[in-house]
Structure formats: structure tokens, C-alpha cells
């Protein structure tokens, strides 16, 4: 099992969204905190709630791992050793998404990886694992990443009694049982006894291509159920399995805060719910189980699910292709976003580098969340050029240095 060594600076560099730089680079002196300390707090734990988840060239696909330089977490320095830890990653069905990237980085640190996969694509995923996912499946030590076990999981159902007859009789669910969240948690408990890290990489909006004004009630509620409530349900059922000091992480998107045309069907609302719930869950799960709850607001990635959204676009270009190009053109760091950027941030949030970090939304989007005006339209180009500001077509160190020095 590979034990990852990562420098403090490298790990916490992924957490640039911290409020205070001094806090971001202060290494904690201990892992977690004792139950006795929390119990002696004047506030104490909450009552038991009975809680039972810019380039101009077209970019056809977002890269999932940087091809040059230091990869993964192989830098010497701070030792992140997750040997003996168990991570349950919900929503993994291939090697193209953020869930896989998070699992890979945790595996690099020695963590045991188990996943929850949507039943209709479970067989396909198992076949892919047997064939191998090539470079996407390789750990930093050259070994193939190992998924210890795959559990069928349909996060639309919290308990067995919620599973409808149509689903039970669906041939894509044939031969499977116990795929509701509660049953899945019970199986994980029987197999591993605990879950140190809970990763919620789930989202679904059946009407995502529809504007909000055209979204039906059922479509809106389905998006909220699958993308937001599922996190609540997962913490209800997996929380009791999580040792103190554990970490729960979900994935969100900037459309929760800003208007992103084309991201419809109530998905923007669902992500806003997820972010709000993250704060409340950090309080409740923190006091009840002593665990941290955070969400990562990731930039667009050409994952299997995202590529399936084929609204508009010429030729083979999908909606996500335009989103990726737009972000590269307008972010403070005009470069591609890699899935491993999110994976390494999640690794830091699961490690003892961030034992005091909870209830936060960590942006991993090359700074897109900070932008108020975009630059690719050229509306302000003349003004910026006359003011001698940052080069309009992307940051060029040599030109930028001259301008800052007043030599140009």
C-alpha cells in the first residue's frame, strides 16, 4: 500500500480559498479532538436527533491529470498516511469524474477505497475495472488503483420501503438488492465496521437541459432529491459508522451562486441547497459524531455525466465543452482544470492538515468564482489596454512584469 508524502505547502495550496493565509499554512498539532473535550464544552453536543451525503482552441475534453511536472502527491515533506482508513465514495461509475479523482488521491495515501455505484451502470463499471483504465487508474507508485468493493447504490432511495415497484421490476436492477442508502450503509458496516471518509459525488437533474421557467415540479424535486437530500440521507446512515475526526465531502458548482445559462432543471437550486446544508450538517454532525463536513465547488469537467448534456453546440461539441472554454478564457488562472486538482483538495480535507476546517465551500475552479466581469467579450478591452492593466489575452509573465514595473 502506498503511503503518500506531500509537502504542507503543496497540500494546502489546494486550499487557497481559506480566509486567512496564516491559518491555511499552520500545521495542526493533533488529529481530531477528543470526545471528552467536546462533551465538557459549555455548549455541549446537540441532542440525539435519531439520524439513522484562456485558450482560443476548442477543448473537446477536460484533462483528468496533469501530464507534466509532479503528479499526484509524490513530493517529499509532510507525511499524509491514510493506511488503515476506509473511504466510501458514492457516485463513481468510471475513471472520468471527480469522484474517481478523489478516490485515486486517497488511495495514493494508502486509504482503502470502496464505492457506491448506480445500479444501471454497475456492470459496465465492473467491466471497465477488469480491463483497467490505463493511466487514469495508475497510482503514483505505478500500481493499478484497487477498488476493494463496489456496492450498488441508488441515492434516490433512503430506505428499502421507498423503492418503488417500477424500479424493482426494471431489468437494469435485476439481481440486485439493498441498493437504498440505509441498506448500503448496513452492508458497509458489516464488511468494514467503519467509514473514515464519506465522499458524496452524486448529482442528477432529469430536466437539466430545460430553463428553470420550463422545469416541472417533479423535475425540480427530483434534482433536489438526488443532488442535495442524498447528502443528508448519507450522513444520517453513514454518520454513525464514522470515527471522530472523520471527514464528509460533497461536490457543488458555482451555479449555486451565479447565473449559469444552460444549467437548468433546478440543478442550480439543488447545489444552493447542498451548500446551505453543508453548514447545518457541519454543526449537527460535528456535535453528534465529531466529524467535519465540507463541500468543494469545482469548475467544469468533461466527465461522462457532463458530456451527456448535449444542448446546442455545433458538430460534436457539447454544453460542457463551451463551459470549459469559457472558464479557461475568463479565469484568473487561464489554464485547464484537472480532476486531480479537486482530488488533491479532497485529500487535504480528509487529512490531519485540516482538522479545524468544517462547514466550508472550497473553490477549486482556477478562481472563476471571484470574477464579476468576464473578459472574453472584449467589452472592456480598450479600457484595460489604455490603463496598462493585466494583458487581456491571458497572463504573460514577461509583459506583466514590465507593466507592473512601469516600463510598458
Strand-by-strand arrangement of the 86-90 sheet: 149-152, 112-117, 86-90, 197-200, 247-252, 292-298, 361-364
Reference 103, options 204, 201, 240, 242; nearest CA is 201
In DSSP notation, 23-52 reads HHT---SSSS--HHHHHTSSS-PPPP----
The cell for 128 is 471497465
Q: CA-CA distance, 379 to 223, in Å (whole number)?
A: 36
322 is catalytic: no
- Across 125-246, the runs of DSSP E, i.e. the strands, are 149-152, 197-200
Q: CA-CA distance, 105 to 89, in Å (whole number)?
A: 12
Q: Which of 263, 289, 319, 338 is catalytic?
A: 263
Reference 53, options 155, 161, 157; nearest CA is 155
From first CA to last CA, the distance across the chain in angstroms is 54
Q: Which of 253, 289, 319, 363 is catalytic?
A: 253
220 is catalytic: no
Q: CA-CA distance, 80 to 113, in Å (whole number)?
A: 16
Active site positions, annotated: 253, 263
Amino acid at each position: 500500500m502506498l503511503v503518500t508524502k506531500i509537502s504542507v505547502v503543496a497540500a494546502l495550496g489546494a486550499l487557497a480559498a481559506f480566509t486567512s493565509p496564516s491559518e491555511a499554512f499552520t500545521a495542526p498539532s493533533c488529529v481530531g479532538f477528543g470526545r471528552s473535550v467536546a462533551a465538557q464544552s459549555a455548549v455541549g453536543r446537540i441532542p440525539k436527533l435519531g439520524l439513522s451525503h484562456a485558450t482560443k482552441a476548442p477543448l473537446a475534453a477536460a484533462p483528468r491529470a496533469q501530464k507534466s511536472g509532479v503528479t499526484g502527491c509524490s513530493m517529499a515533506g509532510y507525511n499524509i498516511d491514510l493506511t488503515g482508513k476506509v473511504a466510501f465514495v458514492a457516485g463513481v461509475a468510471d475513471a472520468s469524474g471527480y469522484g474517481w479523482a478523489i478516490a485515486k488521491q486517497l488511495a495514493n495515501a494508502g486509504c482503502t477505497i470502496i464505492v457506491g455505484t448506480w445500479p444501471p451502470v454497475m456492470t459496465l463499471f465492473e467491466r471497465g475495472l477488469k480491463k483497467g483504465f490505463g493511466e487514469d487508474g495508475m497510482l503514483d507508485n505505478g500500481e493499478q488503483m484497487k477498488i476493494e468493493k463496489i456496492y450498488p447504490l441508488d441515492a434516490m432511495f433512503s430506505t428499502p420501503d421507498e423503492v418503488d415497484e417500477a424500479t424493482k421490476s426494471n431489468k437494469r436492477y435485476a439481481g440486485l438488492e439493498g441498493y437504498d442508502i440505509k441498506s448500503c450503509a448496513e452492508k458497509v458496516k458489516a464488511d468494514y465496521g467503519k467509514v473514515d471518509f464519506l465522499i458524496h459525488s452524486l448529482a442528477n437533474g432529469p430536466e437539466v437541459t430545460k430553463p428553470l421557467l420550463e422545469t416541472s415540479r417533479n423535475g425540480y424535486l427530483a434534482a433536489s432529491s438526488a443532488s442535495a437530500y442524498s447528502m443528508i440521507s448519507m450522513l444520517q446512515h453513514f454518520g454513525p459508522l464514522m470515527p471522530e475526526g472523520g471527514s464528509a465531502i460533497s461536490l457543488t458548482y458555482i451555479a449555486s451562486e451565479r447565473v449559469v445559462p444552460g444549467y437548468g432543471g433546478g440543478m442550480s437550486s439543488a447545489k444552493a441547497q447542498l451548500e446551505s446544508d453543508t453548514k447545518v450538517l457541519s454543526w449537527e454532525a460535528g456535535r453528534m459524531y465529531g466529524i467535519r463536513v465540507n463541500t468543494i465547488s469545482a469548475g467544469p469537467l468533461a466527465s461522462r455525466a457532463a458530456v451527456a448534456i448535449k444542448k446546442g453546440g455545433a458538430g460534436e461539441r457539447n454544453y460542457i465543452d463551451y463551459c470549459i472554454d469559457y472558464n479557461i478564457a475568463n479565469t484568473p488562472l487561464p489554464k485547464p482544470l484537472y480532476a486531480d486538482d479537486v482530488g488533491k483538495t479532497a485529500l487535504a480535507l480528509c487529512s490531519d492538515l485540516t482538522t479545524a476546517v468544517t462547514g466550508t465551500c472550497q473553490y477549486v475552479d482556477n478562481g472563476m468564482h471571484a470574477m464579476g466581469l468576464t473578459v472574453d467579450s472584449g467589452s472592456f478591452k480598450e479600457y484595460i489596454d489604455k490603463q496598462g492593466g493585466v494583458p487581456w489575452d491571458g497572463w504573460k509573465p514577461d509583459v506583466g512584469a514590465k507593466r507592473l514595473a512601469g516600463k510598458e
